[in-house]
Chains A and B, each alone.
Chain A
Amino acid sequence: MILNTDSMKPIYVQIAEWLEVEILNSNMKEDERIYSQYQLADMFTVNPATAAKGLNLLADENIVYKKRGLGMFVSPNAKQFILTKRRKQILEQMIKELVIEANRLDVSESELIMMIHNFKQDYKEE
């Protein structure tokens, strides 16, 4: 498994995101056991503590749940939750970048909204 170590994203976040993609692609189904920290450490060549932090990130968001002594399992509705979360996060991030760049280029708010509107129109017509 190749990790992008130059990315600003910490590796445990990258691991968490990879697991989310696995769930989105239905490679792991609801109530199915997810990889252990040791398996992930082996797959990604990272310290198991790093892998555990990635798993904990998912547990904190209830994407996975713990069964004592058995490991972690994919929560019901995990897929739906990830979808909504990603929509929100990615769009918000993009909008943030957009607004900052617009400010730097002296584009006013109404101009910006106009641009979005116009683009949407063009996109529909295509």
Chain B
Amino acid sequence: MMSLKEVDLLSISIKQYVYKLKAYSTLFYGLLLAQIITLFFSLNGISHMSSSNGELSVSVNSYSASLVIVFSFFWILFAAIQLTTKQYKKIENPLVTNRISGNLSNIGFLMTACVFGGITSSLVGVLLRIIMYFTFDRSQIISDEFILAFSDLLLGISVAILYMVLISGMGYLTGMLTKVSMAFVIIIPAVIIGISKAYADIFQSLIKFFTLESSLPLFALKVIITSILMFGVSILLSNRGEVSQ
């Protein structure tokens, strides 16, 4: 019995990934539910503007599904942080695992969550348009982009996914740092606020590095490289030593 064949990291990581997908399926349902709720809030319009000169009164309601996307960003951030907590780590114990397989399956899970979140939040935007299309008189709608081209939808989905990947990487790294020392719970926000105040220009250019990129492939490349760096550092941190049980 000593000569059981050696296990390989990839197949174990995939098994763990499948296990975690099933285990955390509630997270996905939660996001869907939250997106629908946010959609109903969005149906009231995110901003309202009206003016009147006595004879003519103009009332403009702006509608946007951006709230849904912002919500999805927060969702992936918390999901990523949560995966690094002791509570979530414990479910790996009964399985065949080491630190690397645990991290790889977490990353796989997060990537799936990003794709799911990116697609659903973009589709919620489409749903918003459809609802408006049927509830409003068509002449009342003023937007060139009301009828969304399929290619634009795909672009929207891709960008949403990429942002979520980036955010999940930040969340995961943050979670790992706090496992190294709880001091990071204070240090990380302090550093972020500090940099944004004291070195506003660096902070600005850091944000612009991503937000002002107009080419999708380049943007994707930037996001992927940054995320690989963040996840890589996370793996190194967790593989470093023993974590208190």
A and B touch in the complex (CB under 8 A): no
B interface vs A, CB < 8 Å?
none
A interface vs B, CB < 8 Å?
none
